[in-house]
């Protein structure tokens, strides 16, 4: 792989220097000062803020445009089009398969097992399929807490899987919802688990979905260097997104972020309790994230009824493993009260 050496990478940006090397426009627009220039690809100060936030070294991070961009980069790096495959465990986040299909690379599904009212990884089957050379699996995606089920998977099981797959494929652990999770992050395991790559995002816990800031973390620093120098866009992070990320990672705002997460978790608990009182609800899957997967009769009709009343839910009812299920993101107390009120009148 040969990377693109951008003007920004070659020269940096220093005060008092005249930059005529990047075909930028020298004129600033009033109110948008500085935006006539390309951003630094991976600003060091922000890398340091991420490193402190996630408890890793800044040499173990690549900052990306949301975790979504990291998914595309990883699929591109590890998978040979028309030859390799990724392994997923449905029901899970749909973008893993979408990015694979776009390459195109194959998707092998080892579905989650539904047991005791929750979902579990089919660990032995995952290991068997991912180590079978005929399958050409290059990436195993595990989402924990998993979207849309809300399930967190045991760190010990993920370590067992990583160890069994060493030399076969990488394990990409999507921790987009880790800030809401009691199970917590596996970032501390990165040093001892070289085939583990963790995805994090500021979209969920940090209220920054609109700015598209995420990252990948990996203990293998050579891999991080390879991604930064050879596999990314020349200028992946918009200047305003970089500034917003700094802001939410500052100590004062992190306190607010923490309070908001506590409010969401409190509301999740209240909603679970209140929803269970309704005889229209058949099951609520245990959640370690900021949403609930809810099984009810007439799920599709319920979604339509809610939409008629200006409340939009995510309908998973047509999929076999989530038959009659809807996913409810936890809102503010007032928004959640509206859901309970409408459930009564449904």
Query: What residue ranges bind ligand PLP (CB under 6 A)?
Result: 66-68, 93, 143, 147, 174, 176, 201, 203, 209, 214
The least CB distance from residue 345 to ligand PLP, in Å, is 30
Q: Which residue is nearest to ligand PLP (CB)?
A: 66
The least CB distance from residue 98 to ligand PLP, in Å, is 12
Coil/strand/helix, residue 283: strand
The least CB distance from residue 134 to ligand PLP, in Å, is 29
The least CB distance from residue 33 to ligand PLP, in Å, is 28
The least CB distance from residue 213 to ligand PLP, in Å, is 7
**Extended strands (E) in 151-203:** 170-174, 196-201
Please say which residue, 265 or 343, places its beta carbon nearer to ligand PLP: 265
Please say which residue, 67 or 158, places its beta carbon nearer to ligand PLP: 67
CA distance 202 to 207: 7
Ramachandran assignment for 150, one of left (phi > 0), alpha (psi -120 to 50 degrees), beta (any other): left
The least CB distance from residue 62 to ligand PLP, in Å, is 13
Contact (Cβ atoms closer than 8 angstroms) between residue 10 and residue 40: no
Please say which residue, 70 or 294, places its beta carbon nearer to ligand PLP: 70
The secondary element (H helix, E strand) that includes residue 114 is strand 113-115
Please say which residue, 154 or 209, places its beta carbon nearer to ligand PLP: 209
CA dihedral 251, 255, 261, 262 (to 10 degrees): 150
Please say which residue, 175 or 295, places its beta carbon nearer to ligand PLP: 175
Instruction: For tokens 């917003």, name the residue.
Output: 244
Closest-CA residue to 228 (of 62, 49, 4, 46)? 62
CA distance 39 to 136: 38
Length of the chain: 346
CA distance 295 to 283: 5
Please say which residue, 32 or 102, places its beta carbon nearer to ligand PLP: 102
The least CB distance from residue 151 to ligand PLP, in Å, is 12
Please say which residue, 146 or 195, places its beta carbon nearer to ligand PLP: 146
Q: Give the Cβ contact number of residue 183 at 10 Å.
A: 15
């Amino acid at each position: 792989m040969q990377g693109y050496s951008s003007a920004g990478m070659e020269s940096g940006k220093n005060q008092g220097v005249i930059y005529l090397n990047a075909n930028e426009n020298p004129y600033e627009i009033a109110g948008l000062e500085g935006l006539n220039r390309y951003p630094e690809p991976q600003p060091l100060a922000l890398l340091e803020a991420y490193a402190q936030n996630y408890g890793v070294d800044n040499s173990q991070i690549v900052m990306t445009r949301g975790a979504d961009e990291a998914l595309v980069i990883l699929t591109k790096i590890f998978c040979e089009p028309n030859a390799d495959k990724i392994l997923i465990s449905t029901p899970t986040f749909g973008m893993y398969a979408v990015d694979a299909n776009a390459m195109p690379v194959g998707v092998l599904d080892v579905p989650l097992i539904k047991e005791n009212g929750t979902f579990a990884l089919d660990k032995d089957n995952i290991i068997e399929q991912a180590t079978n050379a005929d399958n050409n699996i290059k990436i195993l995606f595990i989402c924990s807490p998993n979207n849309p089920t809300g399930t967190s998977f045991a760190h010990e099981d993920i370590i067992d899987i990583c160890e069994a797959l060493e030399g076969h494929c990488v394990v990409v652990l999507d921790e987009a919802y880790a800030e809401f999770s009691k199970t917590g992050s596996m970032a501390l395991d990165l040093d001892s688990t070289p085939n583990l790559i963790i995805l994090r995002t500021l979209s969920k816990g940090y209220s920054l979905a609109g700015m598209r800031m995420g990252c990948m973390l990996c203990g293998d620093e050579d891999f991080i260097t390879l991604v930064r120098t050879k596999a990314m866009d020349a200028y992946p992070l918009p200047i305003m997104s970089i500034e917003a990320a700094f802001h939410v990672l500052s100590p004062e705002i992190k306190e607010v972020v923490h309070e908001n997460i506590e409010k969401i978790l409190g509301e999740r608990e209240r909603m679970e309790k209140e929803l269970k009182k309704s005889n229209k609800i058949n099951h609520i899957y245990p959640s370690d994230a900021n949403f609930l997967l809810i099984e009810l009769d007439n799920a599709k009709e319920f979604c339509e009824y809610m939409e008629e009343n200006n409340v939009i839910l995510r309908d998973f009812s047509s999929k076999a493993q989530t038959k009659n299920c809807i996913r409810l993101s936890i809102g503010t107390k007032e928004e959640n009260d509206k859901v309970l009120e409408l459930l009564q009148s449904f």
